[in-house]
Amino acid sequence: MSAPAPDDARPALDGAPLFLLDELPAAALLDRDEVLVDGAEGRHAVDVVRLAPGEPVRVGDGRGALIEGVVVDAGPAGLRVRVTARHEVPAPEPEFLLVQALPKGDRGPLAVELATELGVDRVIPWAAARCVTRWREDRVDKGLAKWRAAARAAAKQSRRPRVPEVAGLMTTRQVCGELADVDLALVLHEQARRPLAGVELPASGTVAVVVGPEGGLTDGEVVALRAAGAQAVRLGPEVLRTSTAGAAALAALSARSRWS
């Protein structure tokens, strides 16, 4: 759905920055109510963004609850915001799930960042057979923490009221189990004959996009993914990096569903 035209009653909020708290006060409904943005978020708002009294802001919990307000005070304690409105933003449809094979180096957080900005709702890190990067047992938590931090930061940057969920690291067998429950599963493959642009998308439910590693999918993975109900599609004639292919696919899907 296209973004609505700016409301003359609240023009400044269209460009208001978004800050995320773990929880929002349940009673923050009236003009006299205030919310304190403290901790790291408060320091960022005051020291980096340099917000001042009178400026509009949004404060959310990353799960769809969203407060609109105006800065009352910005100081060492953080940001005090007078609440002007509160919303519960519904989850977008269809839901987008990205199954992302572990990219090499530090490109994993980049893949999550780009996917978040382009509409992903859930991300599954995938230990595909040809992944150069391997999360050893003692490094899984650290890897997941980086991916989740990237999703949160990108959600704030793109002003998304919902932070994408980053699931635990999965094997091919576990990924296939997840795909069995989605409404449409697409595997990006350079040799696929069917273009992504030609796939009919469901209006609701879950659309999954599977992105393999730099070395490509093994024959066994292709067979397993197809058995789980996934179909191979191609983005175009170019071969993209695994860290950018998912974002490109999500942009194409968003343009055909959420952005039209």
**Tokens at 54, concatenated:** 């009178």
pTM of the predicted model, to two decimals? Answer: 0.88
Domains and CATH numbers, the chain: 18-88 (2.40.240.20), 95-255 (3.40.1280.10)
Q: In terms of C-beta density within 10 A (0-12 exposed, 13-18 middle, 19 or more buried), how is residue 15 classed?
A: exposed
Distance CA 129, CA 217 (A): 8
- Distance in angstroms between the alpha carbons of the first and the last residue of the chain: 5
Whole-number pLDDT of residue 238: 84
**What phi, psi does 135 have (nearest 5°)?**
-90, 100
How much is the pLDDT for 6? 36
pLDDT in tens, 209-230: 999 999 999 999 999 999 999 9
Q: Walk along the chain (260 residues) and give the pLDDT tens digit of each residue.
A: 333 333 333 334 567 999 999 988 765 454 568 899 998 988 998 999 899 999 999 999 999 999 999 999 999 988 999 999 998 999 999 999 999 999 998 899 999 999 999 999 999 999 999 999 999 888 899 999 999 999 999 999 999 999 999 999 999 999 999 999 999 999 999 889 999 999 999 999 999 999 999 999 999 999 999 999 999 999 988 889 999 999 999 999 999 998 86
Q: Produce one character per residue of 88-121: b if its CB has 16 or more CB atoms within 10 Å, e if not.
A: eeeeeebbbbbbbbbbeeebbbbbbbbbbbbbbb
Longest dimension (CA), the chain: 62
How confident is the model over 102-125, as pLDDT tens digits? 999 889 999 999 999 999 999 999
Q: What is the pLDDT of residue 4?
A: 37
